[in-house]
């Protein structure tokens, strides 16, 4: 394959110093669009992400730019740089939900549930009416409680009173968020809260609430989940 010639982009970049900020961003956006999907050489990638991050710095709430950056870092060769990018964004834009959501998604993917829950809670404080964020706080907390329980049981010892209390409180907090998601989206058009909420009800021994959801639940059979008394 031939390496993409960047000469037109370079020529345009040389004229940026005499342009207005809006004109500079317009040129950068055109360059980026030319490069998207054609990142053949290492120089192509360096030029693309550098110009894209510059655009995002100028417009940090632009979801398109943010999505393009995530798309770039999701490539196997770039994925190891993703957490560094997120940390930089959290430092620069601590009051934007997007980097907190991404931090939470990375943690969820790695099954670091407590970290995911805390990041989603921060995003929820910024945007308390976002249904996906509220749902994901509840989901992360539920999985956190399950992981704590499994880790203890895998050591083949009984749950101590303090263990039970921590697990129960985490499930109770998960219940609060998942019930809020249920109230916001009762027909599950945006998030499917049924199974995680059923698991929470089951764990807390709230049998009547669990039975109400049973006709809607699929795939919850013979799990290792136990009730917390």
Segment 65-108, tens digit of pLDDT:
878 887 888 777 777 788 888 888 898 888 988 889 989 988 99
Across 141-154, average pLDDT? 91
Give the span between the Cα atoms of 212 and 198, in whole angstroms.
Answer: 9
- What pLDDT is recorded for position 4? 31
Task: For 12-41, write each residue's pLDDT tens digit.
Answer: 333 333 344 566 677 778 878 877 777 767
Structure tokens at 175: 């219940």
> pLDDT value at position 14?
34
Cα separation values, 55 from 1, 60, 171, 225, Å: 29, 8, 42, 47
* Per-residue confidence band for 63, with pLDDT thresholds at 50, 70 and 90: confident
Q: Binning pLDDT at 50, 70 and 90, where does residue 225 land?
A: low
Least Cα distance to 102 among 79, 119, 126 occurs for 119
Tell which wins on pLDDT, 199 or 60: 199
d(CA 98, CA 169): 28
Looking at residue 219, its pLDDT comes to 55
The pairs formed by 129-133 with CB atoms below 8 angstroms and a separation of 24 or more are 130/97, 131/181, 131/184, 131/185, 131/190, 131/191, 132/190, 132/191, 133/97, 133/101
Range in 21-30, 70-79, 130-139, 160-169 with the lowest mean pLDDT: 21-30
Cα separation, 119 vs 113, whole angstroms: 10
Q: Which helix (H) or strand (E) holds 41?
A: none
**Secondary element (H or E) of residue 134:** helix 131-154
Rounded to 5 degrees, φ, ψ at 217 are -85, 135
Mean pLDDT of the chain: 81
128 has pLDDT over 90 = yes
- Pull the structure tokens for residue 169: 């409180």
Q: Which residue has the higher pLDDT, 21 or 171?
A: 171
Q: Give percent above pLDDT 90 in the chain.
A: 41
Between 191 and 7, residue with greater pLDDT: 191
């Amino acid at each position: 394959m031939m390496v993409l010639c960047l000469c037109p982009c370079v020529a345009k970049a040389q004229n940026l110093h005499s342009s207005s900020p809006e004109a500079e961003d317009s040129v950068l956006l055109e360059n980026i669009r030319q490069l998207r999907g054609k990142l053949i050489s290492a120089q192509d990638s360096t030029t693309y992400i550098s110009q894209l991050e510059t655009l995002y710095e100028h417009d940090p709430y632009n979801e398109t730019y943010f999505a393009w950056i995530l798309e770039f870092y999701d490539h196997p060769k770039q994925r190891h740089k993703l957490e560094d990018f997120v940390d930089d964004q959290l430092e620069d834009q601590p009051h934007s939900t997007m980097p907190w959501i991404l931090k939470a998604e990375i943690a969820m993917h790695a099954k670091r549930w407590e970290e995911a829950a805390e990041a989603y809670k921060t995003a929820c404080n910024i945007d308390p009416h976002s249904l996906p964020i509220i749902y994901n706080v509840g989901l992360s907390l539920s999985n956190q409680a399950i992981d704590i329980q499994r880790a203890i049981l895998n050591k083949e010892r009984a749950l101590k009173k303090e263990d039970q209390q921590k697990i129960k409180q985490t499930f109770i907090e998960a219940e609060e968020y998942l019930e809020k998601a249920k109230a916001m989206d009762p027909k599950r058009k945006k998030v499917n809260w049924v199974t995680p909420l059923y698991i929470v009800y089951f764990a807390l021994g709230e049998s009547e609430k669990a039975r109400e959801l049973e006709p809607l639940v699929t795939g919850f059979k013979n799990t290792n989940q136990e009730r917390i008394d």
